[in-house]
Amino acid sequence: MSKTTPDFFKGQLTPDVVELFTSSSVEAGRKPGNPLPLSLFIKAVEQAPVAISITDKKAKILYINEAFTEVTGYRAEEILGENESKLSDKCTPREVYYDLWHTITRKQVWHGQLINRRKQGERYLADLTIAPMLNESGKISHYIGMHRDVTQAYRAEQQLNNQKHLIESVINASPVAMAVLDSDHRIILDNQMYKMLVSELGHNEPARFFLDALRQDMSDLWPEGVSLPRAFSNREVRVEGAGRRGTRWFACSGNWFSEEDARADHFFLKQSRQYLLLSINDITLQRRQQEKLQLQALRDMMAEEEHIRSIRETLLGAMHQIRQPQNQINAAIQLMAQRNDTNNKPLKDLLSQVRQMGEETLNTLQRCVPEIPETAVVPVNINQLLHEVMLLYSTKFLANGVVVDWLPNPVLPSVLGSANKLRMLFKQLLDNAVNAMNRGGSRERLIKISTTVGRDWIYVAIADTGPGIPPHQRNKVFEPFFTTQAMGGLQAGMGLVMVKEIVNQHSGLIAIDPNYKNGCCFNLSFPVCPKNISTVTGHE
């Protein structure tokens, strides 16, 4: 190979570099069978879109390409013979240079970022790679440096990081627990409040717990094949016995968003992934305050209903009493008619008159029986109703030395029904339990109230430690005016009739547990409210 300088290099290269490019070692280094002329390699370096410089062992610049001039602003005649440090902004830490030189003098490639200054004085961030070039004896003869201005990319990356940090700190400072879940329900991001929920609720992944609770009452939260499901907001979830703070209420909101898949496989074939931002707001304090206010209103309403009910029972009881002689008079009149007994016509007329008066009295009484006001049928939460009735009854429980063991299912789907009627139902069962324990003189006065969930049913069990109901009377107790008490008064015997009626109105079932031995246990079941019309708590 001749050592003449190619034309296009004339005037740009120092003799050192000419030597470098045309040396027999470079020529020898070409791979055997490589048909490309050397000039092509030189052109490739010259026109490469990355700033390339070749230095001696002390970083004295011997060669620069066109891109170097574009990036630094220095033309060849201004920089050749200068040290690379001319580019330094002098604010790169010394350790970086130490590491740079430590690496390249060990014949290794160094890659890193430095702050450089252009000829015009403007700073830029250089992404620099320096590779040592070895001579035939394997010693370093030169260094080749390649750098790009990555200021813009760095700025964009930093802005992205700043935004991420900003979002993270806003999310962390939020008083609402937040978690981002992927479509496999894995937590991708969460905040401090969410982490607190983990310890407070004792669930490893509260988000999944809440999603399950929401799913019980909402139609499919995350339907397959839907690009972005509809957002939901302020869905209440009532959690029983959560931690030391007892019952708690949470308002859950969910927003879906999608993100382009950043994996290399999807560079050309774009694919997006869906995420759910779940916000869980603890609204226990507000709910408790509301509950206090509601409780007084409830107390008044239930007292009024109780009053109506007692009038109803009195009148129905009186009608029941009148119907018995009325039936006997009817029977006597029919008997006389069959015998065609004309001698006793005055008696027959008298009986007919009495019957007529009796019917009128019954009609008058019937008209006086007050109706129990109908209330709206909406999704209701049985746990909440039981809880309210227990609160209303707390003084009665205390006065009667009754201990209540409340074992609710942590989360309960709603039941479609009338809150008022269901409250009356539970109140009646608790009334019966307290009265039975008082009557039976039970030493241990315990009422156990539990709720559980089946596939489509909610189960309630109310058990007491009273004398219980003998097996042969268990079906009769649901009949009108039947009482297990020796001295059944006028008002006795209608409570369970009303209970049964309310259960029927809610398409539910009620039975006395035949296996319960410590007293009496009523088992009730109600169908779960259809999902499309339900809410998780279902307050009226």
Contact residues toward ligand FAD (CB under 6 A) are 53, 55, 58-59, 83-85, 87-88, 90, 92, 97-98, 101, 105, 114, 116, 126, 128, 130, 143, 145, 147
**Packed helices 38-47 and 15-22: angle between N→C axes, nearest 10 degrees:** 130
Contact 390, 449 (CB under 8 A): yes
Backbone torsions φ then ψ of 174, nearest 5 degrees: -65, 140
CB of 145 to ligand FAD, least distance (A): 3
* Nearer residue to ligand FAD within complex by CB, 124 or 250: 124
* Nearer residue to ligand FAD within complex by CB, 53 or 451: 53
CB of 20 to ligand FAD, least distance (A): 13
CB of 248 to ligand FAD, least distance (A): 60
CB of 142 to ligand FAD, least distance (A): 8
* Nearer residue to ligand FAD within complex by CB, 103 or 274: 103
- Taking the C-alpha atoms of residue 39 and residue 53, their distance in angstroms, rounded to an integer, is 18
Nearest to 250 by CA among 407, 467, 131, 410: 410
* Nearer residue to ligand FAD within complex by CB, 143 or 393: 143
* Nearer residue to ligand FAD within complex by CB, 53 or 537: 53
Contact 142, 56 (CB under 8 A): yes
Backbone torsions φ then ψ of 368, nearest 5 degrees: -85, -15
- Taking the C-alpha atoms of residue 447 and residue 437, their distance in angstroms, rounded to an integer, is 9
CB of 88 to ligand FAD, least distance (A): 3
CB of 128 to ligand FAD, least distance (A): 5
* Nearer residue to ligand FAD within complex by CB, 145 or 519: 145
CA angle 505, 509, 512 (to 5 degrees): 130
Contact 330, 356 (CB under 8 A): no
Q: Is the dihedral of CA 5, 7, 11, 13 positive or negative?
A: negative
CB of 161 to ligand FAD, least distance (A): 25
Report the SS3 class of residue 265. Answer: helix
- Taking the C-alpha atoms of residue 115 and residue 123, their distance in angstroms, rounded to an integer, is 7
* Nearer residue to ligand FAD within complex by CB, 39 or 88: 88
CB of 42 to ligand FAD, least distance (A): 18
CB of 134 to ligand FAD, least distance (A): 14
> Can you read off the two tokens belonging to residue 98?
């130490």
CB of 147 to ligand FAD, least distance (A): 6
Q: Where do the DSSP E strands lie in 344-491?
A: 378-380, 403-407, 415-417, 446-453, 457-464
- Taking the C-alpha atoms of residue 536 and residue 540, their distance in angstroms, rounded to an integer, is 12
CB of 131 to ligand FAD, least distance (A): 8
* Nearer residue to ligand FAD within complex by CB, 53 or 465: 53
Contact 451, 386 (CB under 8 A): yes
* Nearer residue to ligand FAD within complex by CB, 123 or 345: 123
* Nearer residue to ligand FAD within complex by CB, 85 or 120: 85
Contact 124, 74 (CB under 8 A): no
* Nearer residue to ligand FAD within complex by CB, 62 or 412: 62
| CA atoms within 13 Å, Cβ hemisphere of 236 | 20
CA angle 383, 384, 386 (to 5 degrees): 65
- Taking the C-alpha atoms of residue 165 and residue 51, their distance in angstroms, rounded to an integer, is 34
> Can you read off the two tokens belonging to residue 67?
């891109």
Beta bridge partners of 249: 238
User: Which strand (E) or helix (H) includes residue 233?
Assistant: strand 232-239
* Nearer residue to ligand FAD within complex by CB, 61 or 239: 61
User: Which strand (E) or helix (H) includes residue 522?
Assistant: strand 521-527
CB of 84 to ligand FAD, least distance (A): 3
Nearest to 182 by CA among 216, 205, 213: 205
